[in-house]
Amino acid sequence: MAGILEKEVPAGDGRGLPGSENAPVLVVDGLVVEHRNRTTGEAFRAVDQVSLSVGAGESAAVVGESGSGKTTLAMAVTGLGPRGEGDVTLLGRSLATLGRRRLRELRREVQIVFQDPHGSLDSRQSVRSGLKELRGLQRERTSWIDDAGLLERVRLSPDLLDRYPHQLSGGQAQRVCIARALLMRPRLIVADEPTSGLDVSVQADVLTLLREVRETTGAAMLMISHDLAVVRSVCDTVHVMRRGRVVESGPCETVFTDPSDDYTRELLAAMPGARWRARR
Ligand SMILES: Nc1ncnc2c1ncn2[C@@H]1O[C@H](COP(=O)(O)OP(=O)(O)O)[C@@H](O)[C@H]1O
Ligand SMILES: [Mg+2]
C-alpha cells in the first residue's frame, strides 16, 4: 500500500488570508476561560492567563495532568467551546472581531482529532458516506484526492470504506478521523489526547501517522496530551499546564532535559525509564 509520504498533500488554499507564510498560525494572548464548579456552582478559571503561539508548520504540545484545563483551552482556540476573555488569533485574524460567517470560514482551516474516535464518527454513516458528506460541504477544498487515495494516506485499505464505525477497531477509527481532517487540508491540526483511548499496541503507529501528516501537509499542530512520551516523539515545543496556567514553555529538548519548574520535574519523574528523567 502506498505510504502517505509518496505524494505531497496540497496545503490549504488560504484564500483571503493575510500574513506571510511564517506568521504564527495561532496566537493565544492572556486567555481566561471560566467554568462553574458542578457541585458548588462557583465560577473558577479552568484556563487562567494562558499565552502561547504556534508557528506555521510547528508542532506544539500542551501537557499537564487531567483537569489542568487542556481541553478547555483547545475548545476555546478552535471556537468550539466558550471563548472566554483574552485574545485568540488564528491565521492573523482575531476571533473576537469575526462575525459568524467569517468565523465559520476560518474554522475550516483548523481540524480537530479527539480522544475517542468512535465518539467523533457518526455511527449511522459508513466511512464512505461520511466522506461524501464532508465533500458535499466543501467541494473545492476536498476534490484533490479520491476516497481510496485518502485512505491509503492513512494506511487503511479501501475495503474499509463500506464499514460502519462499530466495525472498525479503535486504531482504524482514529485513522479515519485523521483522514477526514486531512481531506480538508487544514493549516492547523489540534489533536486532543489522540492516542489515549487506543490500545497501547497501536498508539505508536497513530502517532507516527500524525507526524507524517504534519510533515507532508505543512500544517501546524497543537498536540494535547498528559503523556510526555507522546509529546516528545511528535512535538518541537511544549507548554506545561497546571491548574489552568502555563508554568513552563520551551523547546521539548530543553524542557525535558533541563526543566525549570518543579511541576515539570514531577511530571518527568513520573515517567517510566531513566531516559526521561530530568537533571536535578
Ligand atoms: N463544561 C464544563 N463545566 C464545568 N466544569 C468543567 C467543564 N469542562 C471542564 N470542566 C472542569 O474544568 C477543569 C479543566 O477541565 P479540562 O479542560 O477538561 O482539563 P483536561 O483536558 O486538562 O483534563 C476540570 O476541573 C474540569 O472538571
Ligand atoms: Mg482533556
Give mean pLDDT, residues 97-124: 93
Mean of all residue pLDDT scores within the chain: 89
Ligand 1 site, residue 104, Cβ cutoff 6 A: no
Q: Give me the percent of the chain exceeding a pLDDT of 90.
A: 74
Round to whole Å and give the CA distance between 232 and 224. Answer: 12
C-alpha of residue 18 to centroid of ligand 1, in Å: 34
Within a domain: residue 15?
no
DSSP 232-265: HHH-SEEEEEETTEEEEEEEHHHHHHS--SHHHH
Whether pLDDT at 75 is above 60:
yes
pLDDT for 24: 94
pLDDT for 270: 83
Provide the H-helix boundaries in 29-169.
Answer: 70-77, 100-107, 117-120, 127-137, 139-142, 147-153
pLDDT for 48: 98
Classify strands 26-36 and 85-90 as parallel, antiparallel or unpaired: antiparallel
* pLDDT per residue as tens digits for the range 49-58: 999 999 999 9
Within a domain: residue 206?
yes
Ligand 1 site, residue 59, Cβ cutoff 6 A: no
Round to whole Å and give the CA distance between 79 and 76. Answer: 5
Within a domain: residue 17?
no
Within a domain: residue 102?
yes
Ligand 1 site, residue 45, Cβ cutoff 6 A: no
* pLDDT per residue as tens digits for the range 202-246: 999 999 999 999 988 999 999 999 888 889 888 999 999 999 999
Mutate to test the pocket of ligand 1, among 33, 72, 80, 242 (most ligand atoms within 8 A of CB): 72
| CATH value at residue 85 | 3.40.50.300
Structural domains in the chain (count): 1
Ligand 1 site, residue 69, Cβ cutoff 6 A: yes
Give mean pLDDT, residues 29-53: 96
Whether pLDDT at 4 is above 60:
no
pLDDT for 155: 95
Give mean pLDDT, residues 77-84: 90
Round to whole Å and give the CA distance between 118 and 132. Answer: 18
Within a domain: residue 116?
yes
* pLDDT per residue as tens digits for the range 123-176: 999 999 999 999 999 899 999 999 999 999 999 999 999 999 999 999 999 999
Ligand 1 site, residue 174, Cβ cutoff 6 A: no
C-alpha of residue 247 to centroid of ligand 1, in Å: 18
Structural domain for 131, as ranges: 4-10+23-276
